Amino acid sequence: GVMERLGLGPEVLLQENPRLIYARLTGFGQTGKYAKSAGHDINYLALSGVLSKLGRKNENPYAPVNLLADFAGGGVMCALGIVIALFERAKSGKGQVIDASMVEGVAYLSSFLWKSQSLGLWSQPRGENLLDSGAPFYEIYRTSDGKFMAVGAIEPKFYNQLIKGLGLNLDELPAQMSFSDWPEMKKKFASIFAQKTQAEWCSIFDSTDACVTPVLSFEDAASHQHNKERSSFIKNDPGEISPRPAPVLSRTPAVPSCKRDPFIGEHTEEILLEYGFTKQEIAKLHSDKTIELKDLKASL
């Protein structure tokens, strides 16, 4: 209801421009019991059902910071909705309103979880399934130098490479999919990984298809050979490192800016003047705390 109170709701704006695509990104959506309720990523994740699947055995569900509902289920799905609406407008010539709910966005992202329940992938309690840390071959292990290796050797041919790299004999081990042996196998794998440094394990697995990779810090990720070869991370003028825009388009790739991020309110007056606001109107908006302007005075 915020935009309606400003007189800028979709009904008003679409009357003026029927081609307008109006995206409304909220946690709970435009209708329903929680529509006007406050919330954060963890709440939307909880209501979607996804949070119940995240976490280890005998532990509380775990929300992976605010990546899933806010950015993936919210921002990315809303952007996709805009792209779809633009595509449709090319045929109909009409705009429309996009109701992007983070609850529904992250639920839709988890369609694989819903659709694969009958396959037995999620038939066990949380933390005991193939992809949620239940399997010894889809897990994270600590190395002797306190770092970690990520293991994702699901397919038998990849699993065979994992076993070989660990120095084990496949014929002397339980079957890969013997669920009852998974806890013991995890202990065995953990004890072996703890005997070498992360660099040593990289030297063993980097040239294989064992699906074993180092768990890298931000700093290490930016300097890793693979990422450097692809220029996956960029450095701006102040020296801050961030990911390069993705995905990469062959003909019109994004050209990232290396300038520093703008300060809050740095360009507000400039842009409002460009759009016809007077200095008096801008001053009133600032005094009403509707907008923020860059503080040119030192705060001493």
Q: Active-site positions? A: 40, 70
Laid out side by side, the sheet with 148-152 consists of 138-142, 148-152, 212-214
CA 8 from centre of chain? 31
The candidate with the shortest Cα–Cα distance to 189, out of 141, 130, 129, is 141
How far is it, in rounded angstroms, from Cα 157 to Cα 154?
8
> Per the structure block, which two tokens stand in for 266?
């740095």
How far is it, in rounded angstroms, from Cα 139 to Cα 151?
5
How far is it, in rounded angstroms, from Cα 182 to Cα 201?
22
> Per the structure block, which two tokens stand in for 41?
């990523």
Burial of 143 (0-12, 13-18, 19+ CB in 10 A): buried
Q: How many CA atoms lie within 13 A of 193 on its CB side?
A: 27
Sorted by sequence, the CB contacts under 8 Å of residue 205 that are 6+ apart come out as 149, 165, 212, 213
Sorted by sequence, the CB contacts under 8 Å of residue 30 that are 6+ apart come out as 24, 99, 101
How far is it, in rounded angstroms, from Cα 144 to Cα 200?
10
Cβ neighbour number for residue 142 with a 10 Å cutoff: 14
Which H or E run contains 22?
A: strand 22-26
